[in-house]
Copies of this chain bind each other. A is one copy, B any other.
Amino acid sequence: MVETAFTWPKGFYSDGLHAGLKAEKPDLGWLFSKVPASAAGVYTTNQFCAAPTALTKETINHDHQLQGIIVNSAIANSCTGPQGKLDALKEQALMAKKLGVSQNLIGVASTGVIGEMLPMDKIKAGIAKLKQTKSAKVTEAVLTTDTHTKTIAVKFEIAGHQCTMAGFCKGSGMIHPKMATMLGFVTTDAKISGACLQDLLSEEVDTTFNQITVDGDNSTNDMVVTMANGLAMADEESLTPDHPDYPVFAQAYHEVLSALAKEIARDGEGATKLVEANVKGAANDLDAQHVAKAIVGSNLVKAALFGQDANWGRIMGAIGATDADLDVNRVDIKLNGINIVLSSHGVEYDEWLLRQKLAEDQIKIDVNLHHGFGKGQAWGCDLTYKYVQINASYRS
């Protein structure tokens, strides 16, 4: 598996444009495959699941097939009642008609302010203008407070066929996924059944998208959707877990999902640093994941890291506040490679050197619980003035 410049896999097309939902940036885009693709999705667990998210979930669960997806930013079409559902269905119908495919092969995704109605005239005019291109404009059209697009493409070989997998996502605030998160889209020309793809996505999302947090908040519109159209493996059987090259596909998928997840954490609202917590020595992997996410989720840890302050007591506080099985006297902590806690005690360290290390734009917090063989990782970011600024004036 090698990372490559962003490119759509065989048979995938896309476009993006400014439909007038935002002031000037791209805000509407689509993505589709020239043939129906196996599809899988994971969706927010927020009880106020937005209309487009609910519709896409229903559509994909029907028989795990999808041919295209229409995406807008600026307005989430969430908490919009029966009219919101009709609007999502209308988008689905407009795109299906334009592509000449069945409506139940089209997904719909929206992100932005909750509670506002979609301006359907603008959406309709925008859809009419979308073209079948190989551009990456949709990766821009999906952004809200993100500072840049988040994309990755990898190439890998299955049964001698060169396959491509390309993913993109958006997300910057309201990020604390409990099942999926934000909007994430992964396309591939590898061949795999929808059911296998769903199983793999559901599994992989637990150690990737579900292990990032920006602010502890959980959106109403989150989803990660994958489409696999099989066009790079024309005469081959679909991949299944017992195929010899299945691990190659699974690894590519894991790399794409975790790269996208980390990009979201790095681009957390106002963030200046990507924070990674690596926990080992836990009673089991779940405990380790839970502890890792608690550390990167602590406002106090996040603010201390913004201030380049090695205030490790807050890391201990975050670990101890979990219900993970702990030996409270055996915890070791390193910050960017420097030992600061051994056996739950602070150790002498070079404060000046550590402050330099904490000025870096990536902070690794390595924790050894010395209580078993469980491992887990999580990603977040620092808490800055800019986070407050962005969110004190989001609608203005």
Contact = CB atoms under 8 A, between A and B. Distances in A.
Given A173-B300, A316-B48, A309 B396 contact: yes
A81 B298 contact: no
Contact of A178 (B49, B173, B321, B383): B321
A220 interface: yes
Interface string A81-96: 1000000000000000
Nearest to A214: B299
A385 B391 CA distance: 11
A388 B388 CA distance: 9
A300 B216 CA distance: 9
B392 A307 contact: yes
Interface string A298-330: 111001101101011110111111100010110
A208 interface: no
Given A316-B114, A326-B47, A307 B81 contact: no
A60 to B, nearest CB: 21
Interface stretch (A21-29, A72-80, A190-198): A72-80
A246 interface: no
A356 interface: no
B388 A220 contact: no
Nearest to A302: B391
Q: Summarize A's interface: helix, strand, loop or mixed.
A: loop
Contact of A300 (B217, B344, B389): B217
A215 interface: yes
Interface string A378-389: 000001110111
A63 interface: no
B220 A316 contact: yes
A174 interface: yes
Contacts of A116: 346
Interface of A: 45-49, 76, 78-81, 113-116, 173-174, 176, 178, 215-220, 297-300, 303-304, 306-307, 309, 311-314, 316-322, 326, 328-329, 341, 343-346, 383-385, 387-396
